Amino acid sequence: EVQVLESGGDLVQPGGSLRLSCAASGFSFRTYAMAWVRQAPGQGLEWVSTISGTGETTFYADSVRGRFTVSRDNSKNTVYLEMSSLRAEDTAVYFCAKGRDYGGYYFDSWGQGTLVTVSS
């Protein structure tokens, strides 16, 4: 059974930093792209970042490029999202999602989400 589990969400002050983790199991981890998608309170879904199976290729939303960094450790079946220079508008539930295929175009397994709150 595929499982995806996020952790690391917390209350952080504006300008602060935070690292989210996403532990995955039940599939050949290195074969699939992984993504982060966020949802602000009461709002819709926003794609944040995608990382290829090898970790060599990454993509970011304009809203986070230069502030967020996605990475993965295939030996630990874990994806990370390093977030810095956090803003109030980054407040959201952050979901980690498995790509349906190597290209990661669609997301077929999601974690339960981890809440990031940016506030003083």
61 binds another protein (CB under 8 A): yes
Q: Restricting to residues 82-101, which ones interact with another protein according to CB under 8 A?
A: 95, 100
User: Are the CB atoms for 4 and 16 separated by under 8 Å?
Assistant: no
62 touches another protein (CB under 8 A): yes
Both tokens of residue 73? 């450790």
The nearer residue to another protein, 82 or 108, going by C-beta atoms, is 108
Per CB under 8 A, the list member of 45, 54, 76, 82 interacting with another protein is: 45
Query: What residue type is assigned to position 107 of the chain?
Result: F
Q: Please say which residue, 9 or 16, places its beta carbon nearer to another protein.
A: 9
Sequence-separated (6 or more) residues with CB below 8 Å from residue 19: 8, 80, 81, 82, 83
